[in-house]
Amino acid sequence: MYLRRLFSLHNPLQPQIQLYKSIFSARRIQALAIITDNPQTTTTLNVTHDAEWTPTPISYSKLLSQCCQTKSLNPGLQIHTHLIKIGLENDPKHRNHLINLYSKCRVFRSARKLLDESPEPDLVAWSALISGYTQNGLSQDALLAFTEMHSLGIRCNEFTFPSVLKACSMKKDIIGGKQIHGIVVVTGFENDVFVANALVGLYAKCGDFLDSRKLFDQIPDRNIVSWNALFSCYSNGHFFKEAIDLFQDMIITGLIPDEYSLSTIINACTGLQDITQGRKIHGYLIKHGYTSDPFSCNALADMYSKVGDFEDAKTVFDHIPNPDIVSWNAIIAGCVLHEYFNLGLELFLKMKRSGITPNMFTFSSVLKACSGLGLQDLGKQFHSILIKSEIELDPYLCSGLIDIYSKCGEMDDAQRVYDMMPQKELIALNTLLSGHSQNGNDIEALSIFSKDRDRIGFNEATLLPILNSSASLQDVYVSEQIHGLSLKTGFQSDPFVINSLIDSYSKCGYVERAKMVFDESDIADLATFTSMISAYAQSGQGEEAIKLYLKMQDLELKPDSYICSSLLNASAILSAYEQGKQIHVHTLKSGLLSDVHTSNSLVNMYARCGSIDDASRAFFEVPEKGIVSWSAMIGGLAQHGYGKEALSLFDKMLKDGIAPNNVTLASVLSACNHAGLVTQAKTYFETMEGVFGIKPTQEHYACMIDILGRSGKLDEAMDLLSRMPFEANASVWGAVLGAARTHKNVDLGQRAARELLVLEPEKSGTRSLLANIYASVGLWEEVADTRRLMKDSKVKKEPGMSWIEVKDRVYTFIVGDRSHFMSEEIFKKLWELMDLIREEGYVPVLENDLHNVTRSEKEVLLLYHSEKLAVAFGLIATPPRAPIRVKKNLRVCIDCHTFLKFVSKVVTREIIVRDINRFHHFRDGNCSCGDYW
């Protein structure tokens, strides 16, 4: 069927063929070939029956010449048969015409047979054969024929050299081409414009643009073909700017471009993404009357589509009288490029209705449109059409099918398409690996890469999904292997590979190795800095992230929305309020606040830096509030103890038609927890699945158990734990242990501690809390045993640490810290504060201190807790009445909480402390938590 369709392309010749068949009858062939001398009818072949007429050799020559021009093989065969019958087959002119005809029609065996049977084959015969080989893409055969001809002593002329040089160009055989160039010089044809044009094309296509330009400049009478040859070579070699500059030079000479010149330069403008220059060339098209030329119009539509002016592309397309498949492909590809997926599919249907048959390029664009819209079923329909049609599934089409199945989550179908490919190609492998990685099939991605790497090969694009999968699996061994491969192959110089390596190492917990990749890279662009800053931010190293940002500023690299978002998150981790405000200023100056991710990060930063008022203002300025925006603000209010306000905002979110997700509901439960709203929490928890369609996760259960436990409903909390549909994790048992500590329940505390020691044996907090429970009920022997076990198991208690930001610098304090350069002033300030608050009624809370020392010694130890040191430093180093913001890595102890309430009163300052659970705003002797934390 496919062959029938191909032969149907020759329909215009069928009447001639039938005419010739009627002339060459079985009895007798009589032909009258009348080729008029009228220039307008020189291509018209009229054949009539005339019994009185006898053909002449000249008539046969003209008849065969017409067959060559139209590539009419069957009539030529019949004329050849007739020449044999009448004994004229050995006539040199007839033989040369037949060699030419057979060569053009790819019947090389017959052409070569005629040449070999010729007693003295001349240059015309050899030239016809060489030209036929070249025109049909058989460059090696053309060069072998030339070598044989040359060995026979037959000299080339201006008609033979261009074919031979073109054959060298096709093979990119610069050595052979230079040898033939030498023959051209020796024989004196170097000044012939056609030979010179072929030489220009040869050197350019072989990548030797300097010699190509020298030859071009030496052509005495350059014609439009000369210029077009160089335009084409520059454009095909991606030397787009050089092609455009050369075009300007031609215009200066006064030579008028033709449609080929203009369409080639339009393609160069497309390659440069230079719409300004493209519009100028469009002007030349209009000026010289080539607006109806299909090649130029198609090039214009393609240019406007690819450089970002889809409206002009559509206008050009609409003015094409009879758009062909190239026109349709250009406009459909433009739709897909600009994500007008629906319009692309509509145009495809319109093209089908116009009678144009789609090809592989059409389907490639259409599959991308289906992928962009997530139309899996439509993609499957196109797949069926491709299978039924005779379009060969090339690697690009297979990649398109793999891509749509991958984006729709149908990895089995994607894998099936890949497996059915007769010959696997790298582009399909890369698409499949990306699909597996994006769908969380990380093991499959690594397995396929391991299996097909040696057989198919790999490139930079192959390594990216593999590094992404190793990051997801947190498998540093795979990251190291890919790092080694990138070093061996030189792909480590690729910025995308560098960024993926940084991301992979950091997500595997090896930030120092990520930093090593960053430091060893010669690329200091925005993307690489963004990757490293994100790595620091995600690993909690906010100080390093901010330092790197300052270094980036020294290099005058302008931040984008992603890097600002990462920096805001780093500031949030550090509670670096002043630094966060500066980044806020940068986002304003850069016009990045319109980006929703940056706006959400701003809300989160202010909330986590203790300024809920700033967070609220940032929230109301978010351009398009999505679920992330609402969740960030609700979570911020919850952390600051504004439980009722958080629930009120949640109700407003629901009224605005925003559906909550897991994170939102966790924030809602957290708000209830911090405000002690047990009844409301139970209502939200019990209706999660029924009202919102969200099944409770471990986080939701942990929060609900914490709420019940802290309110004293320990039995109810344990009942809920027993009804969980999955095994309790460390968060759940941590909530139980916290409730046991709050209510001094030793048995429950021991049970929770046993479970936690199995789940997280390396964490010291479990035994510390258990010792705290023992101390609260006076079981000092058990306290000592617990501390001894910690020592024997080499589990070190996490030291209490606090951070405070002063003048863009973050200062760190640990308990009893004397390393600070202002230690003397800090300790002096603490004793001053102690005297002041004792007068106000402060009494140290010693019950939970585990040290077996005297009361006075315990008071001194409590006085040197890290948050107290940080607050004392803040009072010294910050302006009067300025809020003091401190972050702590552990829960604030009861004594520090009491101490800070009194301090806020005597110094008339707001003190904001963010501990591991929540924020405490100390004002005028009170705390925002209401002593419930």
- The predicted-structure confidence for 576-612, as pLDDT tens digits, reads as follows 888 888 889 888 887 887 888 899 999 999 998 889 9
pLDDT digit string (tens) for 208-217? 777 777 787 7
Q: Would you say residue 2 has pLDDT above 70? A: no
Highest mean pLDDT among 333-347, 699-713, 800-814, 919-933: 699-713
Alpha helices in 319-441 (DSSP H): 325-337, 341-353, 360-373, 376-388, 395-407, 411-419, 426-438
Exposure b/e, 257-295, CB count within 10 A at least 16 = b: bbbbbbbbbbbbbbbbebbebbbebbebbeebebbebbb
630 vs 79, more confident: 630
In this structure, the strands spanning 926-927 and 919-923 are antiparallel
Phi, psi of 806 (to 5 degrees): -135, 120
pLDDT value of residue 404:
80
pLDDT value of residue 51:
40
Distance, CA of 328 to CA of 352 (rounded, Å): 10
Per-residue 3-state assignment (H helix, E strand, C coil) for 367-400: HHHHHHHCCHHHHHHHHHHHHHCCCCCCHHHHHH
pTM over 0.75? The answer is no
Q: Would you say residue 7 has pLDDT above 50? A: no
Structure tokens at 830: 């603490």
Q: What percent of the chain has pLDDT over 70?
A: 91
Distance, CA of 407 to CA of 435 (rounded, Å): 7
pLDDT value of residue 301:
84
pLDDT digit string (tens) for 442-493? 899 999 998 888 888 888 889 999 999 998 888 899 999 999 988 888 888 8
492-496 contact pairs (CB < 8 A, 24+): 492/517, 492/521, 493/522, 493/523, 494/460, 495/523, 495/525, 495/527, 495/528, 496/460, 496/461, 496/464
Structure tokens at 244: 């455009």
Structure tokens at 202: 């040869």
Closest CA to 836 of 906, 888, 899, 891: 906
Distance of CA 858 to the CA centre of its chain: 59
Q: Would you say residue 26 has pLDDT above 70? A: no
Q: Would you say residue 805 has pLDDT above 80? A: yes
Distance, CA of 928 to CA of 744 (rounded, Å): 25
Helix, coil or strand: residue 912: strand
CB 634 within 8 A of CB 646: yes
Give the confidence band of 802 by pLDDT, cuts at 50, 70, 90: very high
Q: Would you say residue 28 has pLDDT above 50? A: no
Q: What type of residue sits at position 920?
A: H
Matching residue, tokens 């002033």:
825
Alpha helices in 152-192 (DSSP H): 160-171, 174-187
Give the confidence band of 850 by pLDDT, cuts at 50, 70, 90: low
* Length of the chain as a residue count: 933
Give the confidence band of 41 by pLDDT, cuts at 50, 70, 90: very low
pLDDT value of residue 684:
94
Helix, coil or strand: residue 646: helix
Q: What average pLDDT does range 739-761 have in this prediction?
A: 91
Helix, coil or strand: residue 586: helix
Write the CA distances from 801 to 69, 539, 543, 822, 830, integer angstroms. Answer: 91, 17, 15, 17, 17
Query: Residue 233, Cβ neighbours under 10 Å: how many?
Result: 26
Q: Would you say residue 700 has pLDDT above 90? A: yes
Q: Check residue 457 and give left, alpha or beta (phi > 0: left; psi -120 to 50: alpha).
A: left
Q: What average pLDDT does range 394-416 have in this prediction?
A: 82
pLDDT value of residue 4:
32
CB 533 within 8 A of CB 570: yes
pLDDT digit string (tens) for 613-667? 999 999 998 888 889 999 999 999 998 988 889 999 999 999 999 999 999 999 9
375 vs 654, more confident: 654
Mean pLDDT (the chain, rounded): 82
CB 631 within 8 A of CB 658: no
Distance, CA of 601 to CA of 540 (rounded, Å): 15
Distance, CA of 702 to CA of 756 (rounded, Å): 14
Distance, CA of 285 to CA of 259 (rounded, Å): 8
